[in-house]
Amino acid sequence: MSKKNQDNNSSQFDQSEDVFQTRGQMTRANPMVDGGFSLGFHTTELTERQKLAMMGLFGKYGTIAFREAEIFFDPKDIPKAGASDEQKTPSQRLRAVIYAVSQNEENPVPSEKFEEYYRKEMERLINYEKHKLPD
């Protein structure tokens, strides 16, 4: 890494135990069936410490902030509690779980067929609960 990149990185990065910030370019934004987006980013050159910090967050659920200009913040101002499914309604959580299950099956359900799969699974769950009702 060049001296210039090191200087830029040191002023642009603020790593703490649970915050990773870097400069980069959004390279992909694909809509998902569940209403979310699958995003891809290319970062500037990273130090070994930054790579480790980033990889430590891989697969974690969190909060994303992105804009063209730098974002200045104090990591102490970010709540320690992690982002959770509590921000979703129960029906949104159930739909997300059904989607995840559909993608983990031996033959994953194609995105364009998910709505049909979702309705069948919901009907199965409804019937399961209905059988608990007294006649």
**Cβ atoms 88, 96 nearer than 8 A:** yes
Q: Could you give the CA distance from residue 58 to residue 96 in angstroms, rounded to a whole number?
A: 19
Which range of residues forms the domain containing residue 110? Answer: 85-130
Is there a single domain that holds both residue 72 and residue 89? no
Is there a single domain that holds both residue 65 and residue 101? no
Of 37, 53, 77, which residue constitutes the final position of a domain?
A: 77
Is there a single domain that holds both residue 65 and residue 94? no
| Residue 61, SS3 per DSSP | coil
Is there a single domain that holds both residue 9 and residue 69? yes
Q: Residue 100 CB: number of other CB atoms within 10 A?
A: 10
| Residue 96, SS3 per DSSP | helix
Is there a single domain that holds both residue 72 and residue 96? no
State the angle between helix axes of 90-104 and 114-130 in degrees (0 to 180), rounded to the nearest 10.
Answer: 120
Q: Is residue 38 part of a domain?
A: yes
Helix, strand and coil content of the chain, in percent to the nearest 5, comes to 45, 10, 45
Backbone angles phi, psi at 26, to 5 degrees: -75, 125
pLDDT above 80 for 60: no
Of 60, 77, 94, which residue constitutes the final position of a domain?
A: 77
pLDDT above 60 for 5: no
Q: Is residue 135 part of a domain?
A: no
Is there a single domain that holds both residue 17 and residue 61? yes
pTM above 0.85, yes or no: no
Is there a single domain that holds both residue 64 and residue 10? yes
- For residue 88, the 8-state DSSP code is S
Q: Is residue 107 part of a domain?
A: yes
Query: What does the pLDDT average to over 7-20?
Result: 49
**Cβ atoms 63, 73 nearer than 8 A:** no
Q: Is residue 120 part of a domain?
A: yes
Number of domains the chain is built from: 2
pLDDT above 70 for 119: yes
Is there a single domain that holds both residue 124 and residue 63? no
